[in-house]
Amino acid sequence: MGLIAKAILLAALLLLGWGAPLHAAEPVEVVVEGVEEEALANVEAVLALPYGLVREGTVDRDWLERFAGQAEAKVRGALEPFGYYNARVRTRLEQPGKGEYRLVVTVEPGEPVQVTEAEVAVRGPGAGEEPLKELVERFPLHRGDVLLQKEYEEAKGALKAKALALGYLDADFARHEIRISADRTAARIGLVLETGPRYLFGETTLEGAPQYPERFLRRYLAYRPGEPFSYARLGESQLNFMNSDRFSRVLLTPEKEEARENRVPVTAHLTPSPRRRLRPGVGYGTDTGARGTLSYRDLNLFHRGHEFHAELYLAERLQGIAAGYLIPSYRDLRSSTGLQLTLQRQDVTTYTSRLISLELDRNRSFGPDRLGTAYVKFLQESFTVGTQDSSSRLILPGLRFSERRYDDLVRPTRGHRYGLEVRGTHQVLGSEVGMIQILANANAIVPLPWRLSLLTRVNGALSFLNDPLAELPASLRFFAGGDRSVRGYSYQSLGPRDASGQVVGGRHLFVGSIELERALFSKWGVSLFYDAGNAFNSLTAIRLYQGAGVGLHYYTVVGGINLYLARQIGVDNPAFHIHLTIGFEL
């Protein structure tokens, strides 16, 4: 069996969970008869053996007998949340072998308690709020339903939480009771919420950061004076301050006792972090090779909240300097105006590129997860592709739009991202090439049963040129292959070829990937993947290169370390390729 086949077999076994260790039989077995599903799970939970009852494989018999005597009451209590108030429970303790015991619990749940009356109401100034009225209408327990305490408590909690979120800080239940009939067959529910007055946000006092302009600091507040008071908005504001990386400590305190006309003032205590940062970094990726970085940031240039950042990066195949100046908008957190300067040299198997670019962009937020950008870029590039040495100058305006939603940025289990970009230029603007390009990309993570996750990725691009492809700079051509493209092939090694057989890149691009990952323990995972894609010049003559293999993943606080073994598919003399990446591409 070949190496790749062995690796795939091992990954498949792990994905299916066949690698789980076998455990020796326990000296005490608890068997529950007569109930199933959630009720059974609740009974088994209350019958979990207490710590110390079994020590070094030896059972404390006296303790076990006391535990068995208490089992009847425990089981009855565990069944009540499911409406079974008349359950009959019998227990017996068996000894099938020396040192072995079996506690058998037989349950006859009987008829569940049914709701005969359910009075749910909201009173007070907030009684007319539509969200509260909807929760009352959707209350899950009605006449004739089985009394389920879990649903009752969840609906009760949701009603009060919604009132608090709407600013009714004094909201509480004037009545909350379940009356069970004497014969334990019927129940009456009474639930009345008194909202009390509605509170609004008052003024916010900012303390501890006089070096920042007040208008700049207020952009982190997720509320405005006069809006309904919400602890969720308060928490969001605190998170905004902390995520800015400008403050080491943030405490937002509502002063409810100081409220006037139901307006709650807030005091924000801020402890700024050092504004200047110098950070070295090292890493490795099979696309770029070993790399080192040195980055500098000033988070409060001119004491106006403006940001300057610069980075020197050196890798085997990529070297450069990038610097940027960012002017934040007072409109919201993610809107800004920026100026980016990049000097870069890239030397890969298929081309060599030396470029300088200057980009002016305007970013505008369309919500917490959506960002739009309008930009214009000046690009001067000298390049060698195949047997061609050339240079090109472009003035390139464009638009970008993206959305990103993940449940976790280090090890996401659910979420998606997509981006769309349109850019173009013409000789009228002073460029040496006329073109329009449309680029799109997306990925998604879908959770599946048995700790499985399905990861999908697609990238595509189209180019429309009024000049030969040879005039297009290498950085604007499309190539495929590499860690985040078609695994199994070297970085940027796929695409149309010239007369000498060297890859020169293409006008268009399509790359797709599907990956099935199984989580192992708390920090590990294994996966199977399939990639396909290529760069090409004609939409009617597309050849997709394919690769498949296995991956091993270790997740750290800075992202995942991903090791892939990929094999080419559908080519003569298929080869293996190892890919190593650090971090999840968000």
What DSSP string describes 303-319?
TTTEEEEEEEEEESSEE
Residue 356 has pLDDT above 90, yes or no: yes
Question: What would the 3-class secondary structure string for 370-419 be?
Answer: EEEEEEEEEEEEEEEECCEEEEEEEEEEEEEEEEEEECCCCCCCCEEEEE
CB atoms within 10 A of CB 290: 12
Residues 389 and 482 in one domain: yes
CB 271 within 8 A of CB 251: no
Residues 170 and 255 in one domain: no
**CA angle (361, 307, 324) in 5-degree steps:** 45
For 378-390, what is each residue's pLDDT tens digit?
999 999 888 888 8
Residues 131 and 236 in one domain: no
Among 108, 123, 140, where does a domain finish? 108
Amino acid residing at 542: I
Residue 8 has pLDDT above 60, yes or no: no
Tell me if 127 is assigned to some domain.
yes
Residues 125 and 96 in one domain: no
Q: Which are the contacts of 522, defined by CB distance < 8 A and separation ≥ 6?
A: none
Residues 515 and 395 in one domain: yes
Among 84, 108, 132, where does a domain finish? 108
Domains identified in the chain, total number: 4
Q: What are phi and psi of 217, to 5 degrees?
A: -65, -35
Q: Which two tokens stand for residue 472?
A: 């297009």
Q: Grade residue 549 by pLDDT with cuts at 50, 70 and 90.
A: very high
Across 148-155, average pLDDT: 89
The pLDDT assigned to 15 comes to 54
Residues 244 and 365 in one domain: no
Q: Which of 136-140, 269-273, 470-474, 479-483 has the lowest mean pLDDT?
A: 470-474
Residues 89 and 157 in one domain: no
Task: Please state whether beta strands 263-272 and 200-207 pair in parallel, antiparallel, or not at all (unpaired).
Answer: parallel
Residues 89 and 168 in one domain: no
CB atoms within 10 A of CB 249: 12
User: Nearest-CA neighbor of 484 among 566, 573, 365, 388?
Assistant: 566
Residue range of the domain that includes 218: 200-266
Tell me if 316 is assigned to some domain.
no
Residues 44 and 186 in one domain: no
For 291-300, what is each residue's pLDDT tens digit?
788 999 999 9
CB 568 within 8 A of CB 545: yes
What CATH number is associated with residue 94? 3.10.20.310
Residue 449 has pLDDT above 80, yes or no: yes
Tell me if 533 is assigned to some domain.
yes
Q: What percent of the chain has pLDDT over 70?
A: 95
The pLDDT assigned to 323 comes to 96
CB 491 within 8 A of CB 287: yes
Residues 160 and 229 in one domain: no
